[in-house]
Homo-oligomer: A and B are copies of this chain.
Amino acid sequence: MTKDFNANALRVILRRMSEPSDAVPRPAEPSLEEQIAAYQREFQDLDPQVEKVVSALQRLNRRMNVAYGRQTATLGISNAEWEVLKALVVSGAPYRLGPGELAKRLGLTPAAMTHRIDRMASEGLVNRERDENNRVRVIVELTTEGREKWLEAMRLASVFEEDLLQDLDSRERGLLGDVLTRLLRRVEDAQPDAEGRLTDLD
């Protein structure tokens, strides 16, 4: 190893020059404003108003999912399992659905559903049994324990959600809910073409 006597010191200096003010750890990602400004620099046609809505929507959802994940983890379940519990509760008493129907509602493949039900059955959250009227079909039924877990998760979630919306008064909450519902209907009703463009169904 033939090195110049100060090569090491030089490297250190160069490195420090390249990142001089890193003493205070920065946030995990740039702020929304910085992000949109960067997009505009690189893509002139961007409508900043539209981008603000869309980016905020995406970030908000990611943060919320992290928060839900922390909550469900304290109950010993995952967000994925909570989704299944929710679908069964929404289906109403007697809280029974087939794997295929569950998969459709959760937007999963039937194969993934099989595995989730395996896990949840072994944890006692659901029962899996064959339909005696049609032995090809399977019935997934919420257990009492599963229903309790849903309720606990719901209690935690509703506290978090109330905290989240704390700064909005009732009028603002109503307006927000209505606007989001309109957007949702637009995505759900319109048939996107090959490029994903939404075509009107007027």
**Given A56-B177, A57-B64, A176-B179, 4 extra CB contacts under 8 A:** A58-B64, A63-B187, A67-B187, A70-B192
The contact of A154 among B39, B150, B181, by CB within 8 Å, is B39
Name which residue of chain B comes closest to A14, CB basis. B133
Q: How far is the CA of A143 from the CA of B185 in the complex (A)?
A: 39
Indicate whether A58 sits within 8 Å of B57 (C-beta atoms), given known contacts A15-B133, A50-B162, A177-B49. Answer: no
Q: Is B58 touching A61 in the complex (CB atoms < 8 A)? A: yes
Q: List 30 A-B contacts (CB under 8 A).
A: A11-B134, A28-B107, A30-B105, A39-B89, A39-B90, A39-B154, A42-B89, A45-B158, A46-B158, A49-B174, A50-B158, A50-B161, A51-B161, A53-B176, A53-B180, A54-B64, A54-B161, A56-B181, A57-B64, A58-B61, A60-B184, A60-B187, A63-B187, A66-B107, A74-B194, A74-B196, A160-B192, A160-B197, A166-B198, A172-B179
Q: How many residues of A contact B (CB 8 A)?
A: 88
> Do A184 and B32 have beta carbons less than 8 Å apart?
yes
Whether B49 and A173, one on each chain, are in contact in the complex, defined by CB atoms closer than 8 angstroms, is yes
Residue of B nearest to A178 (CB): B52
Taken together as a complex, chains A and B put the C-alpha atoms of A57 and B168 apart, in Å, by: 15
Q: Mark A161-173, 1 if CB is under 8 A from B, else 0.
A: 1111111101011
> Contact: A67 with B28, CB < 8 Å?
no
Partner of A90, one of B18, B35, B87: B35
Tell me if A156 is interfacial: C-beta within 8 Å of chain B: yes
Collect the chain B residues with CB atoms within 8 Å of residue A168's CB. 179, 182-183
Smallest beta-carbon distance A88→chain B, Å:
10
Write out, one digit per residue, whether chain A residues 106-125 have a CB within 8 A of any chain B CB (1) or not (0): 01000000000000000000
